[in-house]
Amino acid sequence: MIRNINPSGTVSWHKLRNHFQEMEYVRMQDLFAEDSERASRFHVKWNELLFDYSKNKISEETLRLLVDLAEEVGLKKAISDMFEGVRINVTENRAVLHTALRDFSDKPIMVDSFDVKNEIVAARKQIKSFTEEFISGNYKTSNGQKFTDVINVGIGGSDLGPKMVVNALENYRNDIGVHYISNVDDDYLYATLDKLDPKTTLVLIVSKTFTTQETIENAKRIKGWLEVGLDGVGVDRHMVGVTASYEEAVKFGVSTDNVFPMWDYVGGRFSLWSAVGLSISLAVGYKNFEELLLGANELDEHFKNSSFEENIPVLMALLSIWYNNFYGYETEAVVPYSQLLERFPAHLQQMIMESNGKNKTRDGYPVNYQTGTLIWGEVGVSAQHAFFQLFHQGTKVIPIDFIGFVNPFIGRENSNHDILMSNFFGQSEALLNGKVGEGYSEDSNNENLSSFKEFYGNKPSNTLLIESLTPRSLGALIALYEHKTYVQGIIWNIFSFDQFGVEYGKFLAKNIQSEIKQGIINKHDSSTSFLLNYYLSEKNHKEL
């Protein structure tokens, strides 16, 4: 079992605190000037991925102490516990086995005395055969046609990951239209449905619990739309359920053949590797879906087997802890230089903030240090024209992950890619070095302005440079952040796999909904009561 160790009480934390006094005002520009080998010292090359972390406020000593911290809190054991099916999600009494979903070896994975591998392999076969039948047109609509569109109804982990991957793999797409409905927002729901033909649309209802209100309400509306459009004939052929609640899905009207499983040992935000990712498989074909899983599995092996000094997710987690807990930098940005990764920051937000937004240690006491970093981002180059000004000259320091690709999609002309990547390299260089003295531009002849045009650099960033954006490299990239998240949770001594805060929000919304329905507002704080009463009176006024 994972040890319960308060990181701030460890020897290495204490040493890091002292070391921070030495490092706080060290400028990275000087570190680079003193050491021409810095980049070759602080990088890891793994498969087709290069991770350069030399542009960080660290020395060899910093790294050594951070690695000591990881060892002191028992990270090695925590990693093997996760892979081996130990019930590390203690607050929900569950194992955490998203890694098993992408493990293609014959090795059993036991949770207590049950080998979960069998049901995982069976589900993969189900995904494969359904995908093949669907894409080939053998699986037909209720009136014998080929399906043209798929709607994925789900929210949070049942939406963000699959949507992000399908966007990212645009170059691998077939001609099936894939649409995502997550929010309970009728305007968006009907705008989507109005463009589709119920006669040729398949609806995937994706909900681990099958009780999430947003998903179930949307699913009811869409089922009604199908019933009208199909004249009530063969509606069940147009519905698939992906859930850990088989009975609920069947009760809803999904045919028993069309229920795909989910399990309690896979958290929603880590579930795109399961049948939750069915929309991915339908959009890009099963082979590419499997490639995605294989890429993640390769990263899993790297995470499990590499020394901490060579371990990319561990290094990323340690750097993040260095900034969060010692420098006090609260946010981190992720900037992929690929339009296709537009949804990547949103997926990471759930993965990271739902996991590590916790304030209790594993023994239930309040933490006395900062946990969960705030994560945000947008694609480059666009982000440069939106918020990079604050990175360069603002008063806050925001460590950034730059993610870029050496090659664009195979077989396409390369011309604009160099422009994109010049920006990628140029930005992290500017953030490191800044520009003081003579100013940067040809029109700096106006001396009064030159101080405004100075910027001091010393802004940290990681660079992840990947061969190209393929299902395999994408799988590895996602898994990389999953493991980074886990490492941070271990070091912070928190439970990363529950989400009681969000669940409480769901509970309150349900109560309020019934108050609105009855038109009687119960006791709330004065602001909430005021707002609810205002809403009711305006609404009633409009309805009159």
Annotated active-site positions, please?
Answer: 354, 385, 506
User: Does position 157 bind ligand F6P by CB under 6 A?
Assistant: yes
Cβ contacts of 156 within 8 Å, gap of 6 or more: 182, 212, 268, 269, 350, 354, 502
- 28 vs 155, beta carbon nearer ligand F6P: 155
Please list the residues that pair with 511 across neighbouring strands: none
Beta carbon of residue 495, minimum distance to ligand F6P (angstroms, whole number): 14
Check residue 89 and report its DSSP letter. B
Beta carbon of residue 152, minimum distance to ligand F6P (angstroms, whole number): 12
Among 184, 250, 294, 502, binds ligand F6P (CB under 6 A): 502
- 156 vs 404, beta carbon nearer ligand F6P: 156
- 488 vs 499, beta carbon nearer ligand F6P: 499
Beta carbon of residue 203, minimum distance to ligand F6P (angstroms, whole number): 15
Among 56, 99, 201, 215, binds ligand F6P (CB under 6 A): 215
Cβ contacts of 422 within 8 Å, gap of 6 or more: none
**Short-list 438, 239, 407, CA closest to 338:** 407
- 45 vs 506, beta carbon nearer ligand F6P: 506
CA neighbours closer than 13 Å in the CB half-sphere of residue 73 = 28
Query: DSSP labels for 328-371?
Result: ---EEEEEES-GGGTTHHHHHIIIIIIHH---B-TTSPBPSS--
Please list the residues that pair with 152 across neighbouring strands: 180, 204
Q: Both tokens of residue 108?
A: 């059993």
Count of residues engaged in binding ligand F6P, rule: CB under 6 A: 14
Residue numbers 458-497 binding ligand F6P by CB under 6 A: none
Kindly tell me the sign of the dihedral angle through the C-alpha atoms of 520, 525, 528, 529: positive
Beta carbon of residue 298, minimum distance to ligand F6P (angstroms, whole number): 25
Cβ contacts of 372 within 8 Å, gap of 6 or more: 352, 353, 355, 356, 357, 358, 488, 492
Please list the residues that pair with 232 across neighbouring strands: none
**Contact between 127 and 289 (Cβ < 8 Å):** yes
Please give the residue whose beta carbon sits closest to ligand F6P in the complex: 268
**Short-list 284, 271, 255, CA closest to 206:** 271
Among 62, 141, 201, 212, binds ligand F6P (CB under 6 A): 212
User: Does position 268 bind ligand F6P by CB under 6 A?
Assistant: yes
Residue 306: CB atoms within 10 Å: 16
Among 49, 78, 155, 249, binds ligand F6P (CB under 6 A): 155
**Short-list 294, 340, 300, 334, CA closest to 471:** 294
Question: What is the contact mask toward ligand F6P in residues 179 to 208, using x (rule: CB under 6 A)?
Answer: ----------------------------xx
User: Does position 355 bind ligand F6P by CB under 6 A?
Assistant: no
Stretch that binds ligand F6P, among 154-162, 230-238, 451-459, 508-516 (CB under 6 A): 154-162
Among 55, 124, 163, 269, binds ligand F6P (CB under 6 A): 269
Beta carbon of residue 242, minimum distance to ligand F6P (angstroms, whole number): 9
- 217 vs 454, beta carbon nearer ligand F6P: 217
- 158 vs 462, beta carbon nearer ligand F6P: 158
Q: What is the dihedral of CA 264, 270, 273, 278, to 10 degrees?
A: 80
User: Does position 339 bind ligand F6P by CB under 6 A?
Assistant: no
User: Does position 499 bind ligand F6P by CB under 6 A?
Assistant: yes
- 5 vs 166, beta carbon nearer ligand F6P: 166
Which residues of the chain form contacts with ligand F6P (CB under 6 A)?
A: 155-158, 207-209, 212, 215, 268-269, 354, 499, 502
